[in-house]
Amino acid sequence: MRGFVPLSQIVELRRGGSDEEVEEKLRSMRGQTMYLKVIEMNRRRNRLILSERAAAQERRAQQKDRLLSELQASEIRHGRVSSLTDFGAFVDLGGADGLIHLSELSWGQVQHPSQVLRVGQEVDVRVVGVDRENKKIALSLKQVEENPWTRIEQKYHVGDTVPAKITKLAQFGAFAELEPGVEGLVHISELSDERITHPKQVVREGENVQLRIIKIEPQRHRLGLSLRQAEDAGGYDYGGGFEAYSGASYVLDSGPSGSTTTDGEESEEEHAPQPEEPADTVHALPHEQSEPAASEPAANGTARVPER
């Protein structure tokens, strides 16, 4: 008995392949044993149509039922990436495909599965859910690895200044990633000493910055970060400050770029360069410190320095 298998019913023949590829595949199949399913039979016309694709689907359905009955949540399984989509990656576990949702691919930010996986790649995944009624399997790639938040308090401390990358801007602040899976918020009030209405006035997405950690909440997976405090710490070597006399008022010198008055406002006069005095300039001494013998009394009660 002989039957016919249409090209469309052969599993490994790609659609749209060239004639040379089709001929090469057919030659390689000669002499092989195939699992086929009868999809059409006409005894009167002596017609028998077979399908490898239908047979493979039937066998896979049986394997899927068996696998679904065996799978348990939280166990680790080995599989092969079968396809990628915008919302995740499908992994063949040996009879059934499970889905790794985009959010379960990595502890870090992932825009598309191709950033992490490729078709044909072998991976270990954790089973996070089995829906036997609807025959669906939920998988996770990131849960095979350690959650970076479990060691956050050992690695980072309040007051540390750390490198980070701005990942997202919002009206209330900017999100920054310290490492894959560890992201914190720079509130808009912590972006600049000046008043701003939106974070884009100070930072942009993708920008690398130095930030100071001001709060750590590992249980809630939250980090409080500050750009302005990091800039203040990095821009000035502040050791308590010192007072400098300027005219009739005192200012607190905060560093080489300017001075700050006691009410927190910058003194513009301190930014202006002071003219140098000639080397031969002589200043009048107060009356209490004048030299009585070598000078001639002046009308205002001070001593005039004699010319040399």
> Are both 27 and 81 inside the same structural domain?
no
d(CA 100, CA 81): 10
Residue 255 lies in a domain: no
pLDDT in tens, 43-79: 888 889 989 888 888 888 888 888 998 999 999 999 9
Write down which residue in 218, 234, 250 finishes a domain: 234
Q: What is the mean pLDDT of the chain?
A: 78
> Are both 168 and 218 inside the same structural domain?
yes
> Are both 229 and 155 inside the same structural domain?
yes
Write down which residue in 234, 251, 267 finishes a domain: 234
Write down which residue in 234, 265, 297 finishes a domain: 234
Residue 185 lies in a domain: yes
Residue 241 lies in a domain: no
Range with the poorest average pLDDT among 66-70, 84-88, 249-253, 289-293? 249-253
Q: For 249-276, what is the mean pLDDT?
A: 38
Q: What is the CA radius of gyration of the chain?
A: 39
For residue 219, give the CATH number of its domain: 2.40.50.140
Total count of domains within the chain = 3
Residue 295 lies in a domain: no
pLDDT in tens, 149-190: 999 999 999 999 999 999 999 999 999 999 988 999 999 999
pLDDT surpasses 50 at 148: yes
217-243 burial by CB neighbour count: b if 16+ within 10 A, else e? eeeeeebbbbbbbbbeeeeeeeeeeee
Tell me the percentage of the chain whose pLDDT exceeds 90.
Answer: 45
Which residue range forms the structural domain that includes residue 152? 148-234
d(CA 210, CA 163): 5
pLDDT in tens, 42-52: 888 888 998 98
> Are both 137 and 179 inside the same structural domain?
no
pLDDT at res. 9: 85
pLDDT surpasses 50 at 266: no
Residue 38 lies in a domain: yes
